[in-house]
Structure 1
Amino acid sequence: MKSKYWIMILLILAVLFGFVFPVGASTKNQSFDISNMRGPFAKYIVYVAIHHTEIRASNNSHQLESVNNFHHSRFNELSFLGKWGGYNILIDVDGTVTWFRVYGEKTAAQLAYNFSVFSICLAGNFDIDMPKPPQIRALVSLLYNYPDLIIAFHRDFADRKCPGENLSKNWLARILKTYKPKDAHPLKIYMGNPNLKAQDYTLIASEHQQDREKYLELSNDNSQIGKFEKAKLKKIIDRLDGCQRRSPLKLKRHKKKKACHI
């Protein structure tokens, strides 16, 4: 009889244990979909920028830790997810996708564009090499998850080569077409003036959402903005009060008219 009682007790405990603590689950770290999380600046994001780490895959095939540590020492900005990487996402050499910062969280990736740009970094040096097939598939999959964003390169926002001289907008268009999911709508690629400086803020951003009210809202958010960026925002507000903003397309049609350089 005692053995039957013990068996019943063990069965009850097993059922309870199975429901309360499912196999593979942890009470300290419940699984969740980071891609559905939204930071305070999600409503301002218009662009997604592609970067590279400038570290060759042959020199380092797993770059997550090195990028996280480098950005810790350089920027020292801890993310909502407890990481130091300045990008939203890193795609490692093997195609592994790691979130450093949630969508809409302030990044440390494009100087003066850390509020309105979603940043994806590919591990590798694409001045020399090309992304690996797993990286390309992961990148395209991510880009199609954000169909409303305009795809750009880091060099569209600054005087840089990033994400590497080997990566062109034609290459981007080809991979988007090759790995396009069924029934997905075509994505928008930014084809404007290359190598824009960060000071020429409005060439990229003013056409969409960079108005005075937004800057005021951002500049009043002390929790997300450092002194340097706060000072830049104040300059932008002052300039927007007295200058005319033009989009990249309009600048091409009106070359004689001055743009609003911030």
Structure 2
Amino acid sequence: MNQVSTQQLASWLDSTLQPQRFKDYCPNGLQVEGKTAIRHIITGVTASQALLEAAIERNADAILVHHGWFWKNENPVVRGPKRERLALALRHNLNVFAYHLPLDAHVALGNNAQLGRVLGLEPELDEDGNPRRCGPDNLVWLGRCPGGKTLEEFGSDICNALQRRPLLVGNPQQKIQRIAWCTGGAQSMMEAAVAEGVDAYLTGEASEPTFHLSRETGTAFIGAGHHATERYGVQALGRAIADAFPIQVDFIDIDNPI
């Protein structure tokens, strides 16, 4: 029969992503327990009400996301939108899997690895042949932008690849050769990238100090969208699940301009 037990899938995901290596802002793994057997999974970026409803409409048994629930320092009271999301999952016996930093970091399936692939970036390798990284938990990737494109040209490539116009800070004619990147809301990690002497730092979001750090260091900054940069890891993970188990896995993109 084309199914996998919920426990077997949870164990495979934990073995693949190794969440115990990270001090994260949320629990990683099976956040809400539903059916004991899974035939159909919906993957997405965030466990929003819209994604839950789409999964229920398609008779899925589980959702797998990058942004799950129960974040550190959030209000623990179960009311309003939080209650509605949780009630939907429980009412329909829907498993909710979520992996945050472990999905960012995975060297093959992770958001950073997959964004580099989508944008045609060439990761730098260390002496062991692993991608060179820096910053907290080694989340920031280091590499090269082939072709020596200008910031303006690379921004146009990003727009075409992600279908979203990025925020560019810096001289539009500046050549971008060495680049550092970290998907999502990693603007605070730009200092680690600057210390590596890169020409540009790419992440999802920007904060007010980002502009000044970029101008004062001469390191171009690219804000390509939190959601837009984090659509690809969960899709790669979904494909790996479909290869490992005889179940249906579908990705649904609930677009978000942030």
* TM-score, normalised via structure 2 length: 0.24
Q: TM-score, normalised by structure 1?
A: 0.24
| Structure showing the higher strand proportion among its residues | 2
Larger Rg: 1
Higher relative contact order (CA 8 A, sep 6+): 2
